[in-house]
A and B are shown apart, each in its own frame.
Chain A
Amino acid sequence: MITINQTHNQSFEKNTLLSEKSEVISIRKLGVNINLIKVHSPGIAGSAKPGQFCNIKVSETYSPLLRRPFSICDVQGENIYFMFDVHGAGTQILCKKKKGDILDILGPLGNGFDLNCDFDLAVISAGGIGAAPFPFLLKKIGRKKEIISLIGGRSEEHIITYGMKNIFISTDDGSNGFKGNVVELAEKLKDKFKGKKTLFFACGPNAMLRALKEFCITNNFECQISTESAMACGFGICQGCPIPSASEEKYYLICKDGPVFNAKDVIV
């Protein structure tokens, strides 16, 4: 009575979102607890933009149950890189993947950084694993703009400089670079940002994003922040990842309306 066909190919034509079985090409450590996994995912790589993310099924079973969201760290040809730290059941499994393993990846999801706005200087502000989306962003910005990268972490071992340019480091304990956090570092360096069309691109813990938003408002710098949240689906149906609007009595969804927002538009 019915004909059941796999509809995926049909969907591919209409849309840019994919559920793609992707082969692991390599996985390596960037630091004590930081991993970089490279997967062959031509469909997603073909349409990905900096700041977008993918929702990855780390196991072939339903344990753990949900996918795990990861920023797209970089794209090279048909390959995608994801950077992650190990902090739970999902990332424990992911860090043990080997070359040839297959990952089911949904993406590219959400809205990335907006590069169409007018700026001369991009100030990258990364806290810990918040460094993840920036290698791809810096590649897209290219050499046409000036770049300064502010990279913060609790200590030396939490500093991730992979893919960054013109780097300034801060650590909470002073074990590398400036002793303090990224926002205090920005305050110290702010003369470098003045007199230019400066645009901040930030990703990191909420406390850092909150403080950086205040810093940018005080100093009249534009600022785009990449936010994160627990989420189930990653594409707008579970409604599990709200972030309050700064101007209206409503929530945005981080997965669909973000994860990148103009810092002025949301309450972090």
Chain B
Amino acid sequence: MSGINLAVKIGSLELKNPVLLASGTVGYGNEISQFTDLSKIGGIVTKSISLKPRKGNPPQRIVETTGGMLNAIGLANVGVEEFINSKIPFLKEVNSTVICNIAASSVEEYVECVKLLEDQEIIKAYEINVSCPNVKEGGIEFGHNPSAVGTITSKVRGATAKPVIIKLSPNVSRISDFAKIVKAEGGDAVSAINTLVGTAFNIWTKKPKIKNITGGLSGPAIKPVALAKVLEISRNVDIPIIGIGGIMDWQDAVEFMIAGASAFQLGTVNFVNPNAGIEILQGIFDYCIKTSISDLNELIASYQL
């Protein structure tokens, strides 16, 4: 098992391997550790934390669609204070690299959250969820507005020396423009992609199947879209990319790395197979042996167009 380097770097963040579990699909680590060993994978991204607790959306929050699922959880979370008091102690025990995902409804709230979390050594990087409504701007998502993404990146950058990763929305016309801004404002990396906006109707009641009307589409259905977005960023911007979107097995993960991702996140698959991270890691390791790759970094952006 020796001789193959699986370690990758996301800016200054070193990961022992590229397997990350995505925000919102791993909670704060405790439930999923009943089924898998989080210390074996590259790291976990915690469920979005906001300054104050959020109750989340009323039911129904999720529905399965062909090859995917829609969710509108509404960023239900315990808030920064409770996160520090009751979730961080467990995270310290799982011996995994912890990336803390932050959601907010104003630029100031992102910065405030980061400041409150700065002393927590267990947090090795921040992933900023910009797919949140900007309350001061009539509820338009930050992630749809290049200047808002730029402002958030620069303000958060100013509040921490830890790596700052911006999780980009795919619901924009040109995602690489957003990655360029993140780089220009001092962001260390981008995660691509967040979920795609979708909906589904009950044809008998003519009502949307989820209470929020629209939700975020995830799962294998979005993988080709996500791959194209990763490739677009890779070809246009020199910034580390964490690929996300419908990865179900190691072959999917390898595709993301070929398309330009330095690491990748598993999301929806965790709901179905909570041990998927380790299985995918094993698959990548075997792929390296089969294809004589001695350093997984050789695979990143190795596309032959």
Interface residues of A (CB under 8 A from B): 1-4, 6-8, 10-11, 14-15, 17, 19, 57, 62-67, 106, 229-233, 235-244, 249-251, 256
Which B residues between 232 and 262 are near A, CB-CB below 8 angstroms?
248
Shortest CB–CB separation between residue B269 and chain A, in angstroms?
8
Are A230 and B62 touching (Cβ within 8 A)? Answer: yes
Assuming the contacts A65-B69, A241-B61, asked whether A232 and B55 have C-beta atoms less than 8 A apart, the reply is no
The residue on A at minimum CB distance from B296 is: A1
Shortest CB–CB separation between residue A70 and chain B, in angstroms?
15
A-B contact pairs, 11 of them (CB 8 A): A2-B17, A3-B1, A17-B35, A65-B67, A65-B219, A235-B31, A237-B31, A239-B61, A240-B62, A242-B57, A256-B31
Are A238 and B55 touching (Cβ within 8 A)? Answer: no
The residue on B at minimum CB distance from A61 is: B248
Given contacts A17-B34, A62-B219, A232-B71, 13 further A-B contacts (CB under 8 A): A7-B40, A10-B37, A57-B272, A65-B64, A66-B64, A231-B62, A237-B26, A237-B274, A239-B24, A242-B56, A243-B59, A250-B55, A256-B31
Assuming the contacts A65-B68, A256-B31, asked whether A1 and B6 have C-beta atoms less than 8 A apart, the reply is yes
Are A233 and B271 touching (Cβ within 8 A)? Answer: yes
Are A237 and B32 touching (Cβ within 8 A)? Answer: yes
Are A230 and B60 touching (Cβ within 8 A)? Answer: yes
Report B-chain residues with C-beta under 8 Å of the C-beta of A237.
Answer: 25-27, 31-32, 270-271, 274
Shortest CB–CB separation between residue A180 and chain B, in angstroms?
25
Which B residues between 1 and 33 are near A, CB-CB below 8 angstroms?
1-7, 16-17, 24-27, 31-33
The verdict on B102 contacting chain A, using a C-beta distance below 8 Å, is no
Report B-chain residues with C-beta under 8 Å of the C-beta of A251.
Answer: 55-56, 76
The verdict on B220 contacting chain A, using a C-beta distance below 8 Å, is yes
Contact of A7 among B36, B55, B248 (CB under 8 A): B36
Are B268 and A242 touching (Cβ within 8 A)? Answer: no
Are B272 and A238 touching (Cβ within 8 A)? Answer: no
Contact of B1 among A4, A62, A66 (CB under 8 A): A4
Report A-chain residues with C-beta under 8 Å of the C-beta of B69.
Answer: 65-66, 232
Are A238 and B60 touching (Cβ within 8 A)? Answer: no
Report B-chain residues with C-beta under 8 Å of the C-beta of A10.
Answer: 37
- For the complex of A and B, the 8 pairs showing the least CB-CB separation, nearest first, are A240-B62, A7-B37, A232-B271, A233-B271, A236-B31, A237-B27, A15-B34, A17-B34
The residue on A at minimum CB distance from B282 is: A4
Report B-chain residues with C-beta under 8 Å of the C-beta of A241.
Answer: 59, 61-62
The verdict on B128 contacting chain A, using a C-beta distance below 8 Å, is no
Give the docked Cα–Cα distance between A46 and B275 (Å).
Answer: 22
Give the docked Cα–Cα distance between A45 and B3 (Å).
Answer: 43
Contact of A65 among B24, B59, B270, B272 (CB under 8 A): B272
Report B-chain residues with C-beta under 8 Å of the C-beta of A17.
Answer: 34-35
Contact of A2 among B16, B26, B33, B36 (CB under 8 A): B16
The residue on B at minimum CB distance from A256 is: B31
Report B-chain residues with C-beta under 8 Å of the C-beta of A3.
Answer: 1
Interface residues of B (CB under 8 A from A): 1-7, 16-17, 24-27, 31-37, 40, 47, 55-64, 67-69, 71, 73, 76, 219-220, 248, 268, 270-275, 278, 281-282, 285
Assuming the contacts A238-B71, A239-B73, A239-B76, asked whether A4 and B281 have C-beta atoms less than 8 A apart, the reply is yes
Are B275 and A8 touching (Cβ within 8 A)? Answer: yes
Assuming the contacts A7-B275, A62-B248, asked whether A229 and B285 have C-beta atoms less than 8 A apart, the reply is no
User: By DSSP majority rule, is chain A's interface helix, strand, loop, or mixed?
Assistant: loop
The residue on A at minimum CB distance from B284 is: A4
Are B63 and A230 touching (Cβ within 8 A)? Answer: yes
Report B-chain residues with C-beta under 8 Å of the C-beta of A63.
Answer: 67
Report A-chain residues with C-beta under 8 Å of the C-beta of B285.
Answer: 2, 4
Give the docked Cα–Cα distance between A64 and B57 (Å).
Answer: 25
Give the docked Cα–Cα distance between A240 and B270 (Å).
Answer: 14
Give the docked Cα–Cα distance between A238 and B4 (Å).
Answer: 34
Are B274 and A19 touching (Cβ within 8 A)? Answer: yes
Are B272 and A236 touching (Cβ within 8 A)? Answer: no
Are B37 and A62 touching (Cβ within 8 A)? Answer: no
Contact of A236 among B3, B27, B37 (CB under 8 A): B27
Are A66 and B71 touching (Cβ within 8 A)? Answer: no
Are B220 and A19 touching (Cβ within 8 A)? Answer: no
Are B62 and A4 touching (Cβ within 8 A)? Answer: no
The residue on B at minimum CB distance from A8 is: B275
Shortest CB–CB separation between residue B81 and chain A, in angstroms?
16
Report B-chain residues with C-beta under 8 Å of the C-beta of A256.
Answer: 31
Give the docked Cα–Cα distance between A238 and B26 (Å).
Answer: 8
Give the docked Cα–Cα distance between A237 and B28 (Å).
Answer: 8
Are A19 and B272 touching (Cβ within 8 A)? Answer: no
Contact of B7 among A1, A239, A240 (CB under 8 A): A1
Are A235 and B62 touching (Cβ within 8 A)? Answer: no
Report B-chain residues with C-beta under 8 Å of the C-beta of A232.
Answer: 62, 69, 71, 268, 271-272
Give the docked Cα–Cα distance between A230 and B200 (Å).
Answer: 14
Report A-chain residues with C-beta under 8 Å of the C-beta of B33.
Answer: 11
Give the docked Cα–Cα distance between A239 and B25 (Å).
Answer: 9
